Chain A
């Protein structure tokens, strides 16, 4: 392969445009711009929330006021002006849906463009989709089927009214309002999100999925997801998103909380492909998310899988608190950055219970002028006897102006646990390319094979339907090099 060819392909890869960029014109009902105690009250009133939740929000808001934006991350970004953000936007259309026919055709078209038409999904895949369009859930499918099993899958604003005891018990129990700057902000202004409760002994009959979309201009999206798996239950939850082109930066500060009881398991998969900004790094989404799960019961398990290809800045650490004895935490991640994108992602595994296990596999690919950081913590407490962790993080560099960084923190406080960490960083293998070329495989295809193979370990963790989409999204970010 000549060097020029390679350069061409890399250029092509780097010059790929964002394919899912479009915006839908739907009449929106929005809150006044800016953030104040009135706005928090406005959001709460709009949602017709009970008094305790308003108080909870206000407490979070007041705490947020005392905080400063964190500065320890491995990147810098222009300061977010919270007075320029609309904290609440809902499609004006009145929503009482029994079937999809009542949905605004504009909306349906948007979903079709994204290739996730609700009808298609419903008919072909058997996936129940709770589509979040901006901040209000507009359609929930397969509800009856889930109801039969006793599974609760609804918008969190609905759950507040219908299952207040559950929401009150678990909301903020994993990510408290005082956790960090963005979690406090989210707690104060969260607009909507998903709520899942799997009762004892139930294996959720289908994969639950929510598609997020940020649509209205100037709307920060503050999602709040709460998933509870009771004893001996299992659920697989998918979260995926694409967002239309915007010029100014949009802030997304979601909070996800997972709770597993004895012998329960939650599998949480994410495909994220928000608008990454243009080639000069202008625009794009700030994705500052707090995701954390707690393995409350014995032999419980939480597994995070993420494919991060979008956003101007991705800054998140899906974490597991392994509290129950013999509990397991897993984290599988692929993060692809291109042009001026920045990603600072990783996980925290906190071993508290005895015989707890965790596994981390992180793959970073940086191209163009982007920077990709892995930052992770493995903490083994004194009482977490015989705990085990294995961490592997590999980075691949494409282009000489990209960067890959690794910041692992390992803290071990007892002598019966074993912790292993390994990391490597390298360029796309010239030997491998040569090997493929020699056997008649074109360079483009070869790069595809290599990158695909590099991420396989993680992509294999995704549920079938998502694996396809994940590959598509990798292709958008690195087309020409991913088959």
Chain B
């Protein structure tokens, strides 16, 4: 367990020079939690299909060094041409030169956590560490104990962020096996509106492990568009934990695209703390080689009259494995809940694997909840339709696969980006 040793060493180094304040106490508590539980194993039901053992034996280390490659990488990325606010983090450290904020309204804060902790103390204290729990979530605890930096977005009441905010996480493993632990905090106040994109890319040939925690608070009547685009290449591991806390009448559209990565684990949690929330969550995962993608989602309907709709699609190639675990929890008295969940998978090669676990836990009676999961191949009927019109089989197959995947990509409401992403998907397929 090389990684565990490294984490302990790093924490002790940090402890020796840290100030004794509330922030430090939070970290120390988190470290104690991590120390108590260690890393999750496949005996843990939540990790049944995802074995992290290969990560734990690697010699990952935190670093804030970045190479010159990063700049070129950003130029090549799909986001380069998009008009947006960009926050760039390389190996978890904020890079002000590569970042670019174009929003004109000064009341809107688009910045990094380290700065916000000092300048936006009230918002920071009210929300930081309040939503992503560390109890029995070792990887969250590990992030809290040693997190480097991360994005901080604060949209005050009645404001609308005009341009999307892109949080670009770059992992640069040019020199060593790198461990990166960013943590993002997003606070959208009443009646406000924002569009946030998280991007994950990588440079370098060594292994990388990025352990991200996102905490997102959405106050009454606010609207959030939240996209996650994962394109890490090389030997890259990612654990991504996102907790979204919704107050009444909020409206959220969330899209997760996993296009690459040796091992990607997404934990996406929604908690509806008020009535009339509307949450849409979409996901697309395309896996190849021996990659492993694991999507865990959980929607907590804690209050009445909320609606959620979930659709996750996957295409598995070669010897790759995908896991889907969707959980809908309807709490006691969350009457008039409507919750839908669908997971569709296409296995393209004989050795590809899918493990899916769509779950419903319902404690209220006046609800409408459905879930469905399918595993199979492309539909024969549309295939026949296309072929009977003279389209060759391989072209028809491509068309159908693209249509299957683009269905999800189109849920992103930045038109320029959708086109670029669809091109990427086409290349992958």
Interface of A toward B, CB cutoff 8 Å: 72, 382, 395, 397-427
Q: Are B362 and A410 in contact (CB under 8 A)?
A: no
Q: Are A400 and B365 in contact (CB under 8 A)?
A: yes
A412-B347, A423-B372, A427-B365 given; A418·B377 CB < 8 A: yes
Most B CB contacts (10 A, CB to CB) among A418, A423, A427 go to A423
Q: Are B364 and A400 in contact (CB under 8 A)?
A: yes
Q: Are A420 and B374 in contact (CB under 8 A)?
A: yes
Does residue B358 face the partner (Cβ distance < 8 Å to A)? yes
**Measured CA separation A395–B359 after assembly (Å):** 13
CB neighbours (8 Å) of B377 from chain A are 415-416, 418
Q: Are B358 and A426 in contact (CB under 8 A)?
A: no
Q: Are A426 and B373 in contact (CB under 8 A)?
A: no
Interface of B toward A, CB cutoff 8 Å: 45, 332-333, 335, 345, 347-377
**Measured CA separation A423–B335 after assembly (Å):** 19
**Measured CA separation A134–B387 after assembly (Å):** 66
A405-B360, A410-B373 given; A398·B365 CB < 8 A: yes
CB neighbours (8 Å) of B365 from chain A are 397-400, 402, 427
Q: List 20 A-B contacts (CB under 8 A).
A: A382-B351, A399-B365, A404-B362, A405-B359, A406-B358, A406-B360, A412-B354, A413-B351, A415-B347, A417-B375, A419-B376, A421-B358, A421-B374, A423-B371, A424-B368, A424-B369, A425-B367, A426-B369, A427-B365, A427-B366
**Measured CA separation A409–B373 after assembly (Å):** 10
Q: Are A404 and B349 in contact (CB under 8 A)?
A: no
Most A CB contacts (10 A, CB to CB) among B357, B365, B368, B369 go to B365
A397-B365, A421-B373, A427-B365 given; A415·B348 CB < 8 A: yes
A-B contact count (CB 8 A): 113
A415-B377, A418-B376 given; A423·B353 CB < 8 A: no
Q: Are B368 and A420 in contact (CB under 8 A)?
A: no
Q: Are A411 and B355 in contact (CB under 8 A)?
A: yes
Most A CB contacts (10 A, CB to CB) among B45, B360, B376 go to B360
Closest to A367 in B: B365
State the Cβ distance, A433 to closest chain B Cβ, in Å.
13
Taking A415-B348, A425-B367 as known contacts, 13 extra A-B pairs with beta carbons closer than 8 A to each other, sorted by chain A number, are A405-B360, A406-B359, A411-B355, A414-B351, A417-B376, A418-B374, A420-B375, A422-B370, A423-B358, A423-B371, A424-B370, A426-B367, A427-B365
Q: Are B357 and A408 in contact (CB under 8 A)?
A: yes
A72-B45, A423-B370 given; A403·B362 CB < 8 A: yes
CB neighbours (8 Å) of A413 from chain B are 351, 353
5 residue pairs, one from A and one from B, having the closest CB atoms: A415-B347, A397-B365, A418-B376, A419-B375, A406-B360
Q: Are B352 and A415 in contact (CB under 8 A)?
A: yes
Closest to A422 in B: B372
**Measured CA separation A170–B33 after assembly (Å):** 50
CB neighbours (8 Å) of A420 from chain B are 372-376
CB neighbours (8 Å) of A410 from chain B are 354-357, 373, 375
Closest to B48 in A: A409
CB neighbours (8 Å) of B371 from chain A are 406, 421-424
Q: Are B359 and A418 in contact (CB under 8 A)?
A: no
**Measured CA separation A398–B359 after assembly (Å):** 20
A400-B335, A418-B375, A426-B367 given; A408·B350 CB < 8 A: no
Q: Are A397 and B367 in contact (CB under 8 A)?
A: yes
A397-B367, A424-B370, A427-B367 given; A412·B375 CB < 8 A: yes
CB neighbours (8 Å) of B356 from chain A are 410, 421
State the Cβ distance, B216 to closest chain A Cβ, in Å.
28
A419-B375, A421-B373 given; A407·B359 CB < 8 A: yes
- Contact for B347 among A395, A400, A414, CB less than 8 A: A414
Q: Are A423 and B347 in contact (CB under 8 A)?
A: no
State the Cβ distance, B326 to closest chain A Cβ, in Å.
11
Closest to A372 in B: B362
A397-B367, A410-B373 given; A423·B360 CB < 8 A: yes
State the Cβ distance, A1 to closest chain B Cβ, in Å.
15
**Measured CA separation A412–B373 after assembly (Å):** 12
**Measured CA separation A415–B348 after assembly (Å):** 6
Closest to B372 in A: A422
Q: Are B362 and A425 in contact (CB under 8 A)?
A: yes
**Measured CA separation A425–B353 after assembly (Å):** 29
Most A CB contacts (10 A, CB to CB) among B347, B348, B375 go to B375
**Measured CA separation A72–B48 after assembly (Å):** 13
State the Cβ distance, A6 to closest chain B Cβ, in Å.
12
**Measured CA separation A422–B366 after assembly (Å):** 20
- Contact for A408 among B45, B358, B374, CB less than 8 A: B358
